Chain A
Amino acid sequence: AQSVAQPEDQVNVAEGNPLTVKCTYSVSGNPYLFWYVQYPNRGLQFLLKYITGDNLVKGSYGFEAEFNKSQTSFHLKKPSALVSDSALYFCAVRSRDDKIIFGKGTRLHILP
């Protein structure tokens, strides 16, 4: 069965430092992977996706993610964090029947 794991409930990063939010996945076949962000009292906003091609995917707001097939990981990264990046981040995978399966989320705190 398809699944994603986000091992960290919370990540704290100082403003200006690089950030990484971890995600590992379990799928059969080629994975379709996504990152979404959720701000308080808001729905989910799409950040980026990996379907095929380059392992480094660039997305919105300066975020990028690195697909690593051997480690079954899809970590979200940003070179320089902003306080406004503080939010809840979800990694997700598309299942065979086109459902989106989400991880439990990682709360990112950017400290000024």
Chain B
Amino acid sequence: DAGVTQSPTHLIKTRGQHVTLRCSPISGHKSVSWYQQVLGQGPQFIFQYYEKEERGRGNFPDRFSARQFPNYSSELNVNALLLGDSALYLCASGGAAGQTQGMQYFGPGTRLTVL
């Protein structure tokens, strides 16, 4: 089975621009979570979606938004990019709530550089 896939692999943007990152979960998984990993730090939770509904939101500004589609894939959108948004963005998928005991499977990430 294919693991979690993310696109693009790398992305370079300039301040003020908008970016869309994409994630496809493992087949059969209904939950998708997004994390931001700034260089030298652990991943920080941004969003979780389950069955197309937002289940959780981390401490990120409203410039960050996400959605989940009927096929359970997901997009993370970031508006008005700042230099500080430069990071590795990780997507993780999981099964139904209560079935995976919190187990999440991570994709390879999208490296976003804001100039």
Which A residues form the contact surface with B (CB < 8 A)? 32, 34, 36, 41-46, 49, 51, 90, 92, 94, 97-105
A100 close to B104 (CB less than 8 A): yes
Which of B62-70, B75-83, B95-103 contacts its partner?
Answer: B95-103
Complex CA–CA separation, A101 to B41 (angstroms)? 12
Complex CA–CA separation, A102 to B40 (angstroms)? 13
Q: Which of these, A43, A97, A102, A104, contacts B107 with CB under 8 Å?
A: A43
Q: A51-B101, A100-B45, A102-B43 are in contact. Are A45 and B106 (CB under 8 A)?
A: yes
Q: Which of these, B41, B56, B105, contacts A98 with CB under 8 Å?
A: B56
Complex CA–CA separation, A48 to B42 (angstroms)? 17
B41: nearest residue on chain A (CB-CB)? Answer: A104
